[in-house]
Structure 1
């Protein structure tokens, strides 16, 4: 079972051994009172662990063997649920150096994990008070054990939810530091979302979105807990720089949160060994008047050395006007005069969400065997169909068919009724299906142009002359104005050409790019009356 983030069962051998190791290292001797969950992890009575001295030596050498054990013992899916990604030493050291240069009286590590930020700050400045906070008792126990080995008695450890933890005021400056958990909005409990909405209203963040991830909620919590002059240095996914939910964060940095700098690590640099996200570091000071914010594109973690001086200033007016802050770092290649953004005359939207692809998407042979061929239509169900289409996709290239039925169809076909009322029982109660009426009727989206939206390079675009329906592996492009066939051909040819400029989408660690519909609509394209200039593929 491993060191699971849910119920911590004492019969779990790995968990019992981990608790025994932390106890042998002195976890209960530092950091203040243990929580009930932490106490439950420790063995009763005297404890010896065979690897104690070897682990102690590794900790004293600057390594984090306890954090490494947590990563190894927990599955990637378990860590994903709680957003647990441990920060490499290179980034820890640079962020701690920036924080300590602000001369804080108190340092708060919000989401401390095994204590990498908190302990580095406590070692570098023994006079400062350090508070390490994490909801995971396994992690806070590791933090305590690390602090005990290092002889750090200026660290207080709280096994609590940082977001709702009350902080007592201090006379001097508080610095917030950390790598907040990266959890998508789908997995955030309703009560925490309600707290975030209430806190956003309290702070005057009118653009707060329910699609915000947990790292955005942590940023909000830091801002709400900070006093004028307090500083923050947070490592997060960089997607907030570009997506709609990030508007509230970008606005806050320009108004009240006091943005000083943002440092974006190049997507192909692997900041984390086990997470496909592009990292960014934001530095801010509550109440600082941000007439400009320094932006840096760092190609490697080493480029983040001395982040206080890195990056180029971008004016407040440009930041306020920009839809995407990442694009402000792009080379300044200009579009030809008269070009428009794609969204001026094209609407981009996602393909249909079936809610159960294995049920609704059938190979032609399966549809025939089940007696459903009459009710299945060729559809674009895989991105590779568009990638291999060379700008034009037709019915013969569709590898699967979409089940497209109505209530009347079920009344007239026994094979269809048997399929819907038989195997359909397994899928109809899923979130998407139960939200549709009737649950088995997938909306048919038939755009004239389709586009991939996830890959290593730019999207691929293709004409869809047969108006094949699409599912949510591709986007559909729908003209807002009348375009003839030659104009559609010209638009596809241009979008597939190297001349296409504008939005670069959002980039994840390893160079994987994703284009949301709104990001694709920011691509720069010729106006409709110029599209015929790209009708020929060699134009």
Structure 2
């Protein structure tokens, strides 16, 4: 089971014979110490070896590289993984093996003459797997690019004698590259907020010019990596990209979806199971996209799979390119959910849909009744607020005698239209509360700083219907829920607010029973059309935006709505 070299190293370090029983008995701290010592041993042994030039290395250099002032990027300097700025996630070897095997299968006979490229080579895991799966004679050329010079040097030292040419620099500014017939990549996942503004503008201009596509400023860095690699691929080349699934169902992912269905032949997309996170510090759902550099064909079929491995997924379905082009987004439920027969009107036809109130500092502006009393805030400046949906015991929020929501632990929003000097003069006891905003530093926050009166909230009427903005759900509870609000309470942006359009409101006012009928239809939509429109994120999280909620259809069309629609009454 263990090689003789492995046993020798273990015996030298721990003076014990290596066995499964011994490994199982080690504590976590012992395991970490063992790994550290083994790594030290490997490093010590490696120092005895001088790099050997591989016979095809001299043909791999990236030429005509133009140095960029953005080479030392902001996202390379930030090391806080929780801030999603570094974007560096090491590819697990088992995933790299799965991806590489599938890519080689797609190459067919081309795997006997591989010209390999990795635009974000990191520690060289894809090249390592390639070495195991192919004979040395099959790899004709291998190039990797790494922004971090320290990592590049380490990878170069490790793999150069096996033929991997590692270039240090910004891949997105290598303008001339020897063409490749196999590209495997796990590009940095960096959200647009963490990309230097001027650098991002430069990337968009460059990508738009090269692809002819309109690139959204909200695009993550991985989008530019994929588009920039089009020119690196020779005709018929295979590319495999480990990227977030968000491109499939976001507005800013449209350009990439368009590229995949028009500029190349999209072969396969495998979505990994959220229950088995692929990266310890990544909070996104991930997938691998396989493509071939050839013209797209309307009658081509693309395989979408989910869960398990690429070769043995839990679910698998195929869709034509024509079908994918016709869909505004590729949601998880559209791909793998049960077919839904919804023929009622869309919610956008019936409702004005708005986001809930964004306070900019919930911890200051949202108070419980006793907190508002202790702060001496007059009732006239307290707006009743719905609590978070998970605390609601029912999907219908009743009203008490004062119009407040009949719930435990009622919440209130501080909102005032008086000028601050007048507010302080008329209500001197509120001084301590107002002063605490300075102590908390909330006035410097962008949303609050943009207001004429820093404590004046957005204008909203109490919504009769609401939809939760995000959720995970369970086997019996939908991740996104509809709420019927009978109180005078408003809601924060954890909800989407639904206001009946004028004509619908007239119909509801004519017969109050119809309001309950409409709510029953909304709840039925939770298990029907709604789930098709949900965005899927890591950890099973689902989200829906106002525009997407507007495309949801009611599962049925009741007579009292049918008559209005047939008569084309204005909603």
TM range, normalised to the smaller chain? 0.7 to 0.9
2:528 to 500, 511, 524: 500
Hey, what does 1:81 align to over in structure 2? Answer: 85
Task: Indicate the SS of the match to 2:222.
Answer: helix
Aligned to 1:454: 470
Larger deviation, residues 109-118 vs 412-421: 412-421
Q: 1:163 aligned to 2:172?
A: yes
Equivalences for 1:214-229 in 2 at 5 Å?
Answer: 214-229=221-236
The aligned counterpart of 2:142 is 130
Contact 1:258–1:288 (Cα < 8 Å) also in 2:
yes
Pick the aligned partner of 2:190 from 178, 183, 193: 183
Distance 2:44 2:147 in 1: 19
Q: 1:388 to 1:211 in 2, by over 3 A?
A: farther
- What is the 5 A alignment of 1:249-288? 249-288=256-295
SS of the residue corresponding to residue 303 of structure 2 reads strand
Distance 1:221 1:421 in 2: 52
Matched, 1:463 2:474: no
Q: Is 1:154 paired with 2:183?
A: no
- Evaluate the alpha carbon distance shift between residue 159 and residue 233 of structure 1 in structure 2; reply closer, same or farther with a 3 A threshold: same
Contact 1:242 1:506 in 2 (8 A): yes
User: How many Å separate the matches in 2 of 1:30 and 1:382?
Assistant: 63
| Maintained 8 Å contact 1:294/1:311 | no
Q: Distance in 1 between matches of 2:229 and 2:324?
A: 22
Deviation for aligned residue 1:20: 11
Structure 1 pair 434/164, CA: closer, same or farther in 2 (3 Å)? farther
Do structure 1's residue 520 and structure 2's residue 528 form an aligned pair? Answer: no
Structure-2 residue corresponding to 1:366: 371
Give 1:418 deviation, angstroms. 5.2
**1:115 is aligned to 2:127:** no
Using the alignment, how far apart are the partners of 1:474 and 1:410 within structure 2?
33
**Does the CA-based 8 Å contact 1:342-1:522 persist in structure 2?**
yes
Q: Which residue of 2 aligns with 1:411?
A: 422
Q: 1:204 to 1:218 in 2, by over 3 A?
A: closer
Which runs of 5 or more residues in structure 2 are unaligned? 1-35, 59-78, 400-404, 563-571
**Pair 1:531–1:384, CA change in 2 (3 A):** farther
Equivalent residue number for residue 307 of structure 2 = 299
- Runs ≥4 residues deviating over 6 A: 17-21, 30-33
Task: Say if 1:199 and 1:494 are closer, same or farther in 2 by CA, change over 3 A.
Answer: same
Say whether the 8 Å CA contact 2:266–2:290 is kept in structure 1.
yes
Per-residue CA deviations over 1:59-102 (Å, capped at 9, x if unaligned) read xxxxxxxxxxxxxxx87427x32122222223211221233342
Secondary structure (helix, strand or coil) at the match of 1:128 reads: strand
Q: Deviations over 1:491-530 (max 9, x none)?
A: 3323323653342512234322222233333332057755
CA RMSD of aligned residues (A): 3.5
- Give the Cα–Cα distance (whole angstroms) in 1 for the partners of residues 149 and 39 of structure 2: 12
User: Residue 335 of structure 1: which of 331, 334, 341 is its match?
Assistant: 341
Deviation, 1:486, is 3.6
Task: Output the CA distance in 2 between the equivalents of 1:183 and 1:488.
Answer: 45
Q: Per-residue displacement from partner, 1:321-378 (whole Å, max 9, x unpaired)?
A: 1122234423443325x42332232243322222222122222222211112432222
Separation in 2, partners of 1:134, 1:524: 47
Q: CA separation in 2, counterparts of 1:272 and 1:199? A: 30
Q: Structure 1: which 5+ runs fail to align?
A: 1-14, 34-73, 534-539
Does the CA contact (< 8 Å) of 1:205 and 1:252 recur in 2?
no
Give the direction of change, closer, same or farther, for the CA distance of 1:144–1:18 in structure 2 (3 Å limit): farther
Q: Matched residues in 1 for 2:170 and 2:153: separation?
A: 15
Question: Cα offset for 1:238?
Answer: 1.0
Cα distance in 2, alignment partners of residues 160 and 23 from structure 1: 28
Displacement of 1:165: 2.8
With normalisation by structure 1, the TM-score equals: 0.76
Which residue is equivalent to 1:489? 516
Matched, 1:443 2:458: yes
SS in 1 for 2:354: strand
Give the whole-Å Cα distance in 1 for the aligned partners of 2:39 and 2:417. Answer: 57
Q: Is the 8 A contact 1:293 1:316 kept in 2?
A: yes
What SS does the aligned partner of 1:510 have?
Answer: helix
Check conservation: 1:255, 1:289, Cα contact below 8 A: yes
The whole-number CA distance in structure 2 between the counterparts of 1:460 and 1:106 is: 51
In 2, distance between residues paired with 1:453 and 1:98?
A: 37
Match of 2:22 in 1: none
User: Does the CA-based 8 Å contact 2:384-2:413 persist in structure 1?
Assistant: yes
**How does the TM-score come out when normalised to structure 2?**
0.72
Contact 1:453 1:475 in 2 (8 A): yes
What's the offset of the Cα at 1:176? 2.0
Q: 1:217 to 1:361 in 2, by over 3 A?
A: farther
Q: What is the rounded CA distance, in whole Å, between the counterparts of 1:206 and 1:491 in structure 2? A: 42
* Rounded Cα–Cα distance in structure 1 between residues aligned with 2:257 and 2:265: 10
Cα shift at 1:427: 1.3
Q: Quick one: structure 1 residues 153 and 369, their matched pair in 2 at CA, closer, same or farther if it must change by over 3 Å?
A: same
Counting matched residue pairs gives 467
SS at match of 1:524: coil
- Radius of gyration: which is bigger? 2
Closer, same or farther in 2 for the Cα pair 1:367/1:123, shift >3 Å?
A: same
Partner Cα separation in structure 2 for residue 443 and residue 328 of structure 1: 35
